[in-house]
Amino acid sequence: MKVAIGNDHRGSAVKRRVVELLQRLGHEVVDCGAATDESVDYPDYALAVAQVVSNREADRGILICGTGIGMSIAANKVRGVRAAACHDDITAELSRRHNDANVLCFSADLLGERLIDRMIDIWLRTDFEGGRHARRVDKIRQIEGA
């Protein structure tokens, strides 16, 4: 799978570790994130990853900031992106199964390494369930077209 990854200054160290994890798992990585911990504006990096996912230049995206919330708000402004701010295994899994999330957002500050690794593994392996959930995702697409 091809995964675009982005981060602001708060997520630089975590991003470097996540890139290594993704590569070990056999994924191709497109790094759209900040390279240092020098202060930057998270919407710039959320937009970069969201555009790569929206344009289908990557299968999925991962965004990392202080809480994951700002990144998800910004990324969700891009048509075709369903970014979910997740904080544990269940939210990561259900964001895929029920919402077909194509961008995972999470906190660099509030989550430990093992939890982040588990969330990413679960999120990348989980398929969209479809069924009644497809109808709901279609309604989201209709809202985007409004």
Question: Which residues are marked as active site?
Answer: 65, 98
User: How far is residue 46 from each of residues 9, 53, 74, 89, measured CA to CA in Å?
Assistant: 13, 11, 6, 22
Its sign, for the CA torsion 3, 26, 14, 121, is positive
Residues 6+ apart with CB under 8 A from 69: 85, 105
Q: Do 33 and 11 touch, CB atoms closer than 8 A?
A: yes
DSSP state of 77: T
Length of the chain: 146
